[in-house]
A and B are shown apart, each in its own frame.
Chain A
């Protein structure tokens, strides 16, 4: 399953890069979660193994060398256009936010902004780097958190962790479990997948997907028209998104939100978390450890969550 995730991610690459990365040892392909491409620079992999610089024959070296696999401008352009489904115009909104979604993987895009007379960004040109985040399914990885949503748990939950700690993977597993009709008292679940990273295509799950919407618009629409019991959002960051969650909470909806934070102290320092906690609707937080991905470091409840 995880090798298929790597295969999906590299399928956007030109043949020379794809073949070299396919030649990597299975352990590297299985544990890799990022592939970084930059023009005229060696391809770099990040994963549970740390950092590796593959050579042209697929050997995962620890440092760059003469035989390192380089990414040329033509190769980066080809990968970029493939990630755009050869339709840049269809992905302009995502590009203005710095990303694309390809086969469920989030692809970070770095380039030169094109702005209009008022300074508003209208386009991106001269893409110089791509960061492919490999999306993996790990069925059952969020089993330890299911108890937070059991009958009688009336409040909302924060899932926090540093980058690459497995937040999105755990959210995905929670969504599959919580929406299952094989559990008693199935909940009315609404998933807000702003970057289409949670599920590449709207899966055949017993929940409502709002994909690609700005989060604040999606929350408002969901609350007004889909009568959800639980709304799941990934990477809540902005003031507008927090205000939308406050609106939803005031309408009686529970939330499961993902937030970037490496520790309890960092979590409680975040202004958006302080506002969420001020609603008194969030009484549980699960903190993920940095390594290995998907490790629940702590579950904070009640006073432990509100006190520093």
Chain B
């Protein structure tokens, strides 16, 4: 009896596992796009206002689009703890490893190591380069979701069905 119950549960569990894997791909793509939007806004603020980074970041944190951005929340938490901006940025970037993936977190770290260290043309050049790399990451994430999401859902369902059939 217990075997039959577990066998029946295997089908929806497999399907849910597939759905979860597909959702993670979607989350990765969304996180990269949100980060891209944030960095673009930061670049524009720097270009047109020239205010110090702390002022630019504070203004962006008040922006509705970025208020719940986990990177910014982590950054300001570390600043409030007394960390200097470069160190706070690096730690916040590392915290994003799970959300953005290793490549995305490394990109944020790379940008952070050069932010504020050069004149304005230099800063815009840094942003252009990293935003181009981020565009590629976003494109890859989108392509992966397109190719693999359906596959994961189907694989999960088939795995669940296989377990059901074998058990029954």
Residues in A whose Cβ lies below 8 Å from that of B123? 89
A90: contacting residue among B52, B84, B86, B122, CB under 8 A: B52
With CB as the reference atom, state the residue of chain B lying closest to A92. B119
Interface size range of chain A in the complex: 10 to 19
Residues in B whose Cβ lies below 8 Å from that of A263? none
Cβ-based interface call for B60 (8 A): no
Given contacts A81-B86, A82-B84, contact A88 B53 (CB under 8 A): no
Give the residues from 13 to 58 in chain B that come closer than 8 angstroms, CB to CB, to chain A.
Answer: 46, 50-54
- Expressed in whole angstroms, the Cα–Cα distance for A86 and B116 within the complex equals 5
B20 to chain A, nearest CB (A): 40
Give the residues from 91 to 144 in chain B that come closer than 8 angstroms, CB to CB, to chain A.
Answer: 115-120, 122-123
Residues in A whose Cβ lies below 8 Å from that of B122? 89
Cβ-based interface call for A27 (8 A): no
Residues in B whose Cβ lies below 8 Å from that of A89? 46, 50, 116, 118-120, 122-123
The answer to whether A87 and B116 have CB atoms under 8 Å apart is: yes
Cβ-based interface call for A187 (8 A): no
Cβ-based interface call for B154 (8 A): no
With CB as the reference atom, state the residue of chain B lying closest to A123. B119
Given contacts A82-B84, A86-B84, A86-B85, contact A122 B119 (CB under 8 A): yes
The answer to whether B53 and A87 have CB atoms under 8 Å apart is: yes
Residues in A whose Cβ lies below 8 Å from that of B85? 86
Cβ-based interface call for A32 (8 A): no
B84 to chain A, nearest CB (A): 7
- Expressed in whole angstroms, the Cα–Cα distance for A123 and B117 within the complex equals 12
B147 to chain A, nearest CB (A): 41
Residues in B whose Cβ lies below 8 Å from that of A86? 52-54, 84-86, 115-116
The answer to whether B119 and A81 have CB atoms under 8 Å apart is: no
- Expressed in whole angstroms, the Cα–Cα distance for A78 and B85 within the complex equals 11
Residues 57-99 of A, flagged 1 when their CB comes within 8 A of B and 0 if not, give 0000000000000000000001001101111111010000000
B44 to chain A, nearest CB (A): 14
The answer to whether B84 and A88 have CB atoms under 8 Å apart is: no
- Expressed in whole angstroms, the Cα–Cα distance for A244 and B86 within the complex equals 42
- Expressed in whole angstroms, the Cα–Cα distance for A245 and B85 within the complex equals 42
B105 to chain A, nearest CB (A): 20
- Expressed in whole angstroms, the Cα–Cα distance for A89 and B120 within the complex equals 5
With CB as the reference atom, state the residue of chain B lying closest to A114. B119
Residues in A whose Cβ lies below 8 Å from that of B53? 85-87, 90
Residues in B whose Cβ lies below 8 Å from that of A92? 119-120
Residues in B whose Cβ lies below 8 Å from that of A84? 52, 116
Residues in B whose Cβ lies below 8 Å from that of A122? 119
- Expressed in whole angstroms, the Cα–Cα distance for A89 and B84 within the complex equals 18
Residues in B whose Cβ lies below 8 Å from that of A87? 51-54, 116
Residues in A whose Cβ lies below 8 Å from that of B51? 87, 90
The answer to whether A88 and B119 have CB atoms under 8 Å apart is: yes
The answer to whether A81 and B50 have CB atoms under 8 Å apart is: no
Residues 122-145 of A, flagged 1 when their CB comes within 8 A of B and 0 if not, give 110000000000000000000000
B51 to chain A, nearest CB (A): 6
- Expressed in whole angstroms, the Cα–Cα distance for A122 and B118 within the complex equals 11
With CB as the reference atom, state the residue of chain A lying closest to B85. A86
Can you name 23 A-B pairs with beta carbons within 8 Å? A78-B84, A81-B117, A82-B84, A84-B52, A84-B116, A85-B52, A85-B53, A85-B54, A86-B84, A87-B52, A87-B54, A88-B116, A88-B117, A88-B118, A89-B46, A89-B116, A89-B119, A89-B122, A90-B52, A90-B53, A92-B120, A122-B119, A123-B118
What are the 8 tightest A-B residue pairs by CB atom distance, in nearest-first order?
Answer: A87-B52, A85-B52, A86-B116, A89-B120, A87-B116, A86-B85, A90-B52, A87-B53
With A87-B116, A122-B119 known, 4 other A-B pairs at CB within 8 A are A81-B86, A86-B52, A86-B84, A88-B118
